[in-house]
Structure 1
């Protein structure tokens, strides 16, 4: 437990820990009804980041949580498996930073799975493309 607290509050993981605390406070405010999930949707467009289709708060919260878990997990694994030496100290500083692009890619995959167009029946009300039969909601062929 002491190692976990040391990793979560040590540099540079403390930056991700702080961001995770902010994200948790935001979701507590959402749960209490003081704000809404779509609060930041007008402020940012995540299409360029590959995370469009879900509220900004969901994408950023997922990115923060995944980055924190990857960072803490990799540094914990390093602390348990590697002997203390200068190279281990350098890796302890680099791993949390290296976790960010990996977390971004995983978040893009998670967000794509959450995209409303991928949910069953999401395209039932859309007009058919030229040469395609219109879809009927609840029709057995719609469940492929």
Structure 2
């Protein structure tokens, strides 16, 4: 069985110092801000950002055009619907007038027929009243 041995303070301090040195070396190895590779990467990033901005502006312009086109189509459609609705209302009003005229004519015919029947009935009644003293044919007096 292996024996576990703790590192003493000197070993821990040396390990920390070596880690700090390695970080410092890695930091020093980084290229400077005026290095051609760094400048090339920065230019590439800038070009990418500009291209993205152009694409976004184009996308926004297309979106606005689409909204304007849809609004125009909706306005045309609503105008056509309003015209159709007005035409339907006018047609319905004309049909209602025609139906009302037909109904008034039917009612006037019925009233005229009723008046004619009443006149016939009144004539029969008047004829019967004028015959009061006579017995109708086929009846015998009591």
TM range (shorter): under 0.3
Normalized against structure 2, the TM-score is what?
A: 0.25
Which has a greater percent of helix?
2
Larger Rg: 2
Q: Which of 1 and 2 has higher RCO (CA within 8 Å, sep 6+)?
A: 1
